[in-house]
Structure 1
């Protein structure tokens, strides 16, 4: 079961509330997100485009724009080389659209995930050279391509890098590098995604080419999609880009986006960061996983409604296929863990020979959620095994992999996620060594739930729920607030949904408030928990709506349910004890 903690960061919440005209509860939530000081609170609540930093502050941003302007004037061929994920596709779209608007002779290339792998490779360089390309402009990749860029320079090409990934020991000898993570870069915000870096570059280029800079505002929606889809921290400038981008997406004129929203049945919805992260974004990513990311790029660039509709439906079908394949992979992994000795391991290494290699990371993430352990999923590849890992907070995956680096042909990543390739014969040695080296304890395998504010449901009002909207968009680095009340009486329970995957409860708080509570988690596990805790008879009574002895502590987020013109307060349950 989980351990619950209450966030205990201190501040004068009443004073912050008075100063900004917000509830003291909202003030506490803002402090819990490490937003401190009047200016930071103002930007958090009301930040807009005018609070975005000038792109000229980013090292080489203006220099890159100057080189591009020169190449455009000389009618040189420019090739944008992007990446096959949601960030790479959106970054490519921004650069290509921007270059064409500035009169460039430009085209694009996106590597194939299976054939080319990530980022620049020497084949892509060779093709560009053979096709008479003068300048390569990368996005969402390039900072690690030292040898590949050296090859392009040897062939006489100009290479411009825009990227946001961490720098490695060697830095490519490109003509210019735009990446806020460069140590000598003075740009104040370091956590931009690749598409946001591309957007910043286009502001500089439009300025130099005498095009109204306001036209680059059209790129904000692509930067927002990439920021959420690439799971960047929704802090500072990222939060503003996503907030502004969501406004634009909800009235977008982009044919492809409109078609994708329609294909997913969201035309009447208010698109939020949730829809990007879990509905629209996975469709864009699915094309790079199971087909080619060029389809997703074609969608964003589509100038014809019929073409956009076709592409949107193709991406939706690919994503549905990806979901089915993921479910099968997750089920196979759970079976292997439950029926074998793997369950005892501190670090799970699961071999799924037939799993599509692009799904290994998603499956690892699902298994990590279920067991709250670090997970590696390995699958067969052309030259051995490939895999992806997903970690827990107390386990630095990249550092632990570095301790057995000799077993891999290639590996990389960060504390929470990693990718690897290794010879098939090294699999057992990897499984053994990664577990022998682990110093994880049983306590590390208990999920931790951080409660923002212990708050009885009687405190919830429509005004407070609407005020919580000021804290959006939610995501990594700006999580949805979590409230909790202990020992609520559960008056009744019903299972809903055509897949019977939702539970609706009637709950009674300590102050006598009765409210509906929705639970969208694992229904079977919830019922099992009730039967274990309160017995079969009391659980039956609960589902029959009869008086019963069931009480639960609930961690929740408050909302408003609108049905046939009626608005009622409700809570959505995140965790229970």
Structure 2
């Protein structure tokens, strides 16, 4: 599928020259900083040298003082506390952080992760019944609860207090909890709005530490969990999140908790400099697999473990779940591709698939995979508890949530945001929904939204790439939404004749590239998923590339490598 190259507007030339001179850096790097709204020496220093002192005062968050007072009171009165969180990575890391931290100072505390299949996302009535049965006085809800108005009312009727720590957008009515910590509250003046659920939990524990004069070191023992949550939940890695991720990655690399250390070891990343990508592709999926395939509680059991043998056994379970998830995901994706082939003549702008036998835990992953191939708004449904239920994913620029909202009369429930959503409907409404959704999408989607984009930051010729350039570029990390690893373009490059397809089916390309204006600089490159473009790169043909600068680690050696995102030729 051809991709559209969207090249970001270059910053003002005078500003580039000024910042380049002040910092003694390549103008391309100065342009990247200006694109990130960094225009002075001091701002650049703060960006390149994150400090924990740059974190915001947690008491700036609405209700933080009330939340801390309630927690202090609960501990002073030996009340039973239940730490509650969702079954995904953000939820399980949140619970692990708050539980592990408070457990150092207080014993009358437990944790609870709802079952994906019997309870579903967020706070459940059955969980509150469990809490009442076990005489819980206070529930700390993490990464969920902001819309649980009825459930928190139900808990209050059973004399159970709630402190909600969430980061999702609130509804029109806030739950009547003792405290609602959510930087996205309209009446919350907290300076940074994009914390993960675990990040909100971290700020709560930071505030508690300040109140009790505990210092920060004890809490920072768990900052690796915050980095895992930020990377896995795909929240912006800007502002305070960037600081938390920077120090969380450092902790994860040098001295992680026992559970995360075990995951690192068993996923083959124990002895390397860690990146956000390592979390996204190695650590996060293993944690997520517990909730997808069996129970998110297994992930928390591992993440709070301090015993290496126990952690090893628990991690083996997660690895087995992840392997099972991969196989199921692969099989369902193959079935889905076959179904799309039968329907493509009828549904040209959207994909809605329903199979009651598909595994609920992987439908979101399958939807994402289908977009990689077909690039259109996609919904994958299965059957659960008598309803058709599933996940939706969107393409760049198209508001999926609004499109689903226009079909809401056919749904039992739905929720989400612009690019991802979950929905539930009666099986007999699936066909009507398919047709309505296709109509809504066809009326709203633009032609350019149906073409995948490569977002490019700037032109970078090979002659500008040297050790200093790459050393400074690496300091832009940690990379993620809001601060992506820069993508460059270079024109008129050629392979030196040693390029070849690699991978099981030759699906990738291994190249050695030269640029015509600098024929003596040869840079190795990898082009994932572009094996079919091999013919465009042979016999000295010139082509253009969109690429990122990365490192290749092989047999203890580290070298510069281009990660080619796309290849374009005139022909």
1:503 aligns with 2:506: no
The answer on whether the counterparts of 1:458 and 1:513 sit within 8 Å (CA) in structure 2 is no
Contact 1:223 1:245 in 2 (8 A): yes
* 1:566–1:140 distance in 2 versus 1, CA, 3 Å: closer
State the number of aligned residues.
Answer: 561
Q: Report the equivalent of 1:323.
A: 326
Contact 1:83–1:141 (CA under 8 A) maintained in structure 2:
yes
Structure 2 counterparts to residues 236-315 of structure 1, below 5 A: 236-315=239-318
Q: Which blocks of at least 5 consecutive residues in structure 2 are unaligned?
A: none
Give yes or no for the alignment of 1:360 onto 2:363. yes
Whether the aligned pair in 2 keeps the contact of 1:94 and 1:195 (CA below 8 Å) is yes
Tell me the equivalent position of 1:457.
Answer: 462
Q: State the secondary structure of the residue aligned to 1:192.
A: coil
2:532 paired with 1:525 = yes
CA distances 1:515-537 after superposition (whole Å, capped 9, x unpaired): 2443342244334xx3xxx6xxx
| CA displacement at 1:102 relative to structure 2 | 2.6
- Quote how far apart the aligned CAs of 1:104 are: 4.6
SS in 2 for 1:322: helix
Q: Output the CA distance in 2 between the equivalents of 1:550 and 1:332.
A: 38
Q: Which residue of 2 aligns with 1:202?
A: 205
CA distance in 1, matches of 2:51, 2:522: 36
Is 1:3 the counterpart of 2:4? The answer is: yes
C-alpha change, 1:103 and 1:569, in structure 2 (3 Å) is closer
Q: Report the counterpart of residue 545 of structure 1 in structure 2.
A: none
Decide which of 530, 544, 554 is 1:553's aligned counterpart. Answer: 544
Deviations 1:179-224 (A, max 9, x none): 1111121110000011111111111212333423332111211111
Change in Cα spacing, 1:344 to 1:576, as seen in structure 2 (3 Å) is: farther
**What is the CA–CA distance in structure 2 between the aligned matches of 1:331 and 1:129, rounded to whole Å?**
45
TM-score calculated relative to the size of structure 2: 0.94
1:232-283 C-alpha deviation (Å, 9 max, x unpaired): 0011110111011101101124111111111111111211100001111110
Q: Tell me, yes or no, if the aligned pair for 2:117 and 2:384 is still in contact at 8 Å.
A: no
Q: How does 1:458-473 map to 2 (within 5 A)?
A: 458-473=463-478
Asked if 1 retains the 8 angstrom alpha-carbon contact of 2:396 and 2:452, the reply is no
Deviation at 1:96, TM superposition (A): 0.8
Query: Residues 343 and 26 of structure 1: is their aligned pair in 2 closer, same or farther, counting only changes over 3 Å?
Result: farther
Query: Which 10-residue stretch deviates more, 303-312 or 552-561?
Result: 552-561
More displaced stretch, 133-142 vs 199-208: 199-208
Aligned twin of 1:173: 176
Determine the C-alpha separation between the residues in 1 that align with 2:549 and 2:239.
25
Gaps in structure 1 of 5+ consecutive residues: 543-547
Residue equivalent to 2:49: 46
- 1:491–1:508 Cα contact (<8 Å) kept: yes
1:92-107 → structure 2 map (5 Å cutoff) = 92-107=95-110
Q: TM-score, normalised by structure 1?
A: 0.93
Task: Work out whether residues 502 and 518 of structure 1, in 8 Å CA contact, stay in contact via their aligned partners in 2.
Answer: no
Distance in 2 (CA, whole Å) between partners of 1:33 and 1:362 is 31
Closer/same/farther in 2, CA of residues 235 and 133 from structure 1, 3 Å limit: same
Q: Secondary structure at the match of 1:484?
A: strand
Is 1:403–2:406 an aligned residue pair? Answer: yes
Instruction: Give yes or no for contact 1:501–1:520 (8 Å, CA) kept in 2.
Output: no
